[in-house]
């Protein structure tokens, strides 16, 4: 039976990226050695790293003055590193979900945190609007896509202070104006590669402004001075990122990916909006293209488990909603084919015919 992988992360990756990564484990580019056993300072891995960085720059049109580096610790470590390096007096944060809350918690260890707006009053089902970003903040931090609740900021904010964005789950899903950001970061395990590597796109003029001493491994300057190679990087995870970036380029780039993602999201959201049984959980103007959350209408909520069982028989994986939201969540990341979304829609409509 064909599997339809809607998992929120680690999540579906392009089949070609998986196949080529598997080959590299046995023999990297015909050198007779595994990717897992060569030195990270060898010319063979340096070529992998150089191409991965170059493709990041090309696909996202990253301007001069930025570095792309790869670190460990996931986005969660960045929640600490960002204020350690950049918060001297006050930082501004937008609270749009659990991951934003975790970032705010870490920042409070280092200075004043101004939460400029929050959607927590309605269980994070919308993106706040009409807030003011304090001009005296050291930076403004946003989480562009909220995997748990299914909301997304699908535009590039104009900020009067350095803008920092956690794009763990929507990087490379749409074109972005990198010049509006001072830092973009995220865990790779949604749209880019396997768990174990974190990407950081950092504007170089952010470095050297900290008024505190920073431990070596937590200092961004350490990792930009010896790009991604101060200590042994996660070589396999970086290689799979490279294969994913090659796949995106081969399709035609990020604009093509965006069109594919919009088509998938429209297909599923239309099915939800036209359903007698299912209903979306996020305001329409804040809906995520990456994580589509929905529940059964109140009178049908006792049938959720039955629908889950039907979905399983049709190969659906990972559509159970997060425990804090309930219902269902379909993560439609870049590598998910539209055929999988159609299969989910078909299952929803089949279930509705016999149960609504």
Whether the CB-CB separation of 146 and 9 falls below 8 Å is answered with no
| Interior/surface letters 192-213, b for 16+ CB within 10 angstroms, e for the rest | bbbebbbbbbbbeebbeebeee
Whether the CB-CB separation of 258 and 173 falls below 8 Å is answered with yes
Q: Among all chains, which residue has been given the structure tokens 């380029």?
A: 249
Active-site residue (options: 166, 170, 203, 264): 166
- 59: buried, middle or exposed (CB in 10 Å: 19+, 13-18, 0-12)? middle
Tokens coding 85: 């390096």
Active-site residue (options: 23, 43, 90, 99): 99
- Does the active-site annotation cover 43? no
| CA dist 203 → 63, 178, 181, 241 (Å) | 9, 9, 8, 21
Please give the backbone phi and psi of residue 15, each rounded to the nearest 5 degrees, phi first: -60, -40
Q: Among all chains, which residue has been given the structure tokens 């090309």?
A: 58
Coil, helix or strand for 101? helix
Whether the CB-CB separation of 204 and 67 falls below 8 Å is answered with yes
- In angstroms, the first-to-last Cα distance of the chain is 27
d(CA 314, CA 189): 25
Across-strand partners of 235? none
- Does the active-site annotation cover 247? no
d(CA 77, CA 214): 14
- Does the active-site annotation cover 177? no
Tokens coding 63: 């301007």
Cα dihedral 143, 148, 152, 156, rounded to 10, equals 20
Active-site residue (options: 190, 203, 264, 320): 190
- 319: buried, middle or exposed (CB in 10 Å: 19+, 13-18, 0-12)? buried
Catalytic positions, please? 99, 166, 190
């Amino acid at each position: 039976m064909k599997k339809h992988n809607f998992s929120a992360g680690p999540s579906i990756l392009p089949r070609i990226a998986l196949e080529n990564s598997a080959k590299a484990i046995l023999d990297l580019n015909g050198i007779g050695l595994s990717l897992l056993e060569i030195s990270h300072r060898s010319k063979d891995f340096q070529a992998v790293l150089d191409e991965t960085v170059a493709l990041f720059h090309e696909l996202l049109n990253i301007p001069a003055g930025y570095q792309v580096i790869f670190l460990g610790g996931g986005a969660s470590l960045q929640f600490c590193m960002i204020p350690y390096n950049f918060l001297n007096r006050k930082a501004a944060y937008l609270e749009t979900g659990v991951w934003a809350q975790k970032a705010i918690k870490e920042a409070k260890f280092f200075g004043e945190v101004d939460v400029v707006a929050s959607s927590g009053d309605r269980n994070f089902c919308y993106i706040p609007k009409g807030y003011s970003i304090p001009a005296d903040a050291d930076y403004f931090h946003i989480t562009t896509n909220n995997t748990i609740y299914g909301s997304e900021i699908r535009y590039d904010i104009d900020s009067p202070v350095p803008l920092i964005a956690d794009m763990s789950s929507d990087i490379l899903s749409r074109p972005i104006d990198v010049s509006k950001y001072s830092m973009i970061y995220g865990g790779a395990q949604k749209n880019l590669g396997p768990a174990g590597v974190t990407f950081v796109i950092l504007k170089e003029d952010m470095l050297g402004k900290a008024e505190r001493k920073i431990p070596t491994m937590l200092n961004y300057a350490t990792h930009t001075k010896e790009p991604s190679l101060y200590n042994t990087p996660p070589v396999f995870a970086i290689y799979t990122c490279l294969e994913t970036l090659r796949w995106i380029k081969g399709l035609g780039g990020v604009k093509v990916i965006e069109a594919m993602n919009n088509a998938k999201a429209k297909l599923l959201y239309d099915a939800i909006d036209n359903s007698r049984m299912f209903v979306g959980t996020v305001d329409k103007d804040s809906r995520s293209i990456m994580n589509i959350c929905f529940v059964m209408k109140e009178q049908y909520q006792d049938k959720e488990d039955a629908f889950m069982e039907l979905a399983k028989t049709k190969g659906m994986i990972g559509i159970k909603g997060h425990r804090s939201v309930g219902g269902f969540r379909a993560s439609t990341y870049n590598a998910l084919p539209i055929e999988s979304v159609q299969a989910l829609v078909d299952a929803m409509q089949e279930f509705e015919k016999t149960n609504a």
